[in-house]
Structure 1
Amino acid sequence: MPDRIKEFVLSNNILKNLSFLGIRLYLKYWKKHTIGRNTKIGLSSKLNGKNLVGENCSFIGSELGFASYISKNTHLQNVKIGNYCSIGPDVKSIHGTHPTKDFVSTHPSFFSTDFKNSYTQKQLFEEKPEPIDNKEPYLTHIGNDVWVGASVNIIEGVQLGDGCIVAAGSLVHKDVEPYSIVGGVPAKHIRYRFEQNETAFLLEFKWWQKSEEWIKKNSLLFSDIKKFINNIDK
């Protein structure tokens, strides 16, 4: 859909709500995704197959990888999520930032041209991060096979590495290493999931890019990392 039409639809509450309803019905009955009640999926969002989005969610300007799911009451914007991810309930992406030093005030009227009653005609502080990829609009990246626990807040611009785990109730304010476990407010490193050589193997092997047929064939090996590495059908 052309950007001009999107802007027109989003500027009208009736049309916007009708578009959310239409998208939800299309994804549920035509694309066979599982979409909860009162969930809002944006016009430019992408669902890549066998997805579940729980009730009362919003998923705006974002992409959901194959077989990944989002639990109820989760609100994400400008987020790219990889394959086979588990996103818990009440997870939120936090947008924008304010200056914490040098500026006398943290109020946007002193640094932002986007603010309605701004005192400045020039943007003096970058409120949003740059896209994670110049070819895509997403500002936050959640890798593949990532588990984000309930009630996690993710600051915009953060990248969560493949295979990582974020404990429930955490505030993620910086990048998370692949196959690491973090938790707390702010989130801190707790431990790695596997030995260094095992992590290296998984990051190179990228099982989440394999076909469903391959995954079904090898699924019994997923319960033991050592058996997986030694016996996997490459």
Structure 2
Amino acid sequence: MIGYSSKLEGLNKFGEKSIFIGSKIGYASYISKNTNLQNVNIGRYCSIGPNVITIHGTHPAKVFVSTHPSFFSTDFTPSYTREQLFEEKPAPLNSKEPYTTLIGNDVWIGASVNIIEGVKLGDGCIVAAGSLVNKDVEPYSIVGGVPAKHIRYRFEPNEINFLMDFKWWNKPIEWIKENSYCFTNIKSFIDSQSLKKENK
């Protein structure tokens, strides 16, 4: 099911029984079966596995006697409050767009990952299968577990800096086709692009 307000940049794939509502998905990114994403801004060339969901809303865990929304939310029935006493949902990440969760470019999310609304997954990161992501994930890092914790970075710091500055996912399709041969090795990729820059 794809919501009417969703935006698709092109060449996207959606697995069976997947739900995509109020969200945006970048070029060539895909989501697998039984995945449910709402209010998410997804970058280009992302690979999202099956049974991935975004979890919406939160409850107070400190000070409040009860976690039940009838004591803090005016949107719930029954409600015992005349004003909203606890923010259940995060504000949109960008005041000009409605999205509350960000998945960067070239992100790989494994099967059965739960993502808490409001987090940002940086470009090039990997989230291990079965993880619970409850905080921002750094670019080109690998995280896993419940809750998800940093395991390691995919590349060396200078290589990550190069990729973050280069932003290959924004290049024209023809450029990507012509240079796809060097995507199999980060060092070869950087060397080839640096050499081309020097020869200009």
Secondary structure, counterpart of 2:54 in structure 1: strand
- The runs of 5 or more residues in structure 1 that have no matched partner are 1-39
The structural deviation recorded for 1:134 is 0.9
Per-residue Cα deviation, 1:43-64 (whole angstroms, up to 9, x for no partner) = 1001100000110011000001
**AA of the residue aligned to 1:230:** D
Q: Which amino acid aligns with 1:89?
A: P
Query: In the alignment, which residue of structure 2 is the partner of 1:17?
Result: none
Match 1:142 to one of 93, 100, 103: 103
Q: Distance between the aligned counterparts of 1:114 and 1:214, measured in 2?
A: 50
Q: Is 1:199–2:199 an aligned residue pair?
A: no
The alpha-carbon deviation at position 102 of structure 1 amounts to 0.4
Q: What's the secondary structure of 2:161's corresponding residue?
A: helix
* TM-score, normalising length: structure 1: 0.82
In the other structure, the counterpart of 1:36 is: none
| Structure 2 match to 1:37 | none
Counterparts of residues 47-196 of structure 1 (less than 5 Å): 47-196=8-157
Alpha carbon RMSD of aligned pairs, Å? Answer: 0.7
| Alpha-carbon distance in structure 1 between the residues aligned to 2:192 and 2:59 | 51
**Secondary structure of 2:102 counterpart:** strand
Percent identity between matched residues is 74
Deviation at 1:225, TM superposition (A): 0.4
Q: Using the alignment, how far apart are the partners of 2:92 and 2:169 within structure 1? A: 24
Write the letter of the residue equivalent to 1:165: I
User: How far, CA to CA, are the matches of 1:131 and 1:189 in structure 2?
Assistant: 25
Instruction: State the secondary structure of the residue aligned to 2:85.
Output: coil
- 3-state SS of 1:112 partner: coil
Query: C-alpha displacement at 1:117, in angstroms?
Result: 1.0
Cα distance in 1, alignment partners of residues 52 and 79 from structure 2: 31
- Matches of 1:220 and 1:53, distance apart in 2: 27
Structure with higher RCO (Cα < 8 A, 6+ apart): 2
The residue type equivalent to 2:67 in the other structure is: T
What are the Cα deviations for residues 133-175 of structure 1, in whole angstroms up to 9, with x where unaligned?
Answer: 1111000000000000000000000000000000000000000
**Where does 1:202-213 land on structure 2 (aligned, <5 Å)?**
202-213=163-174
Once residues 184 and 162 of structure 2 are traced to their aligned partners in structure 1, the CA distance between those partners, rounded to angstroms, is 16
For 2:43 and 2:77, the matched residues in 1 are separated by: 36
Whole-angstrom distance in 2 between the partners of 1:169 and 1:77: 19
* Distance in 2 separating the partners of 1:128 and 1:88: 25
CA deviation after TM superposition for structure 1 residue 131, in Å: 0.6
Task: Return the offset for 1:85.
Answer: 0.2
* Distance in 1 of aligned mates of 2:22 and 2:153: 31
Gaps spanning 5+ residues in structure 2: where?
none
Q: What is the SS of the residue equivalent to 1:223?
A: coil
d(CA) in 2 for partners of 1:51, 1:122: 42
Offset at residue 116 of structure 1 (A): 1.9
Aligned partners of 1:48 and 1:55: how far apart in 2?
20
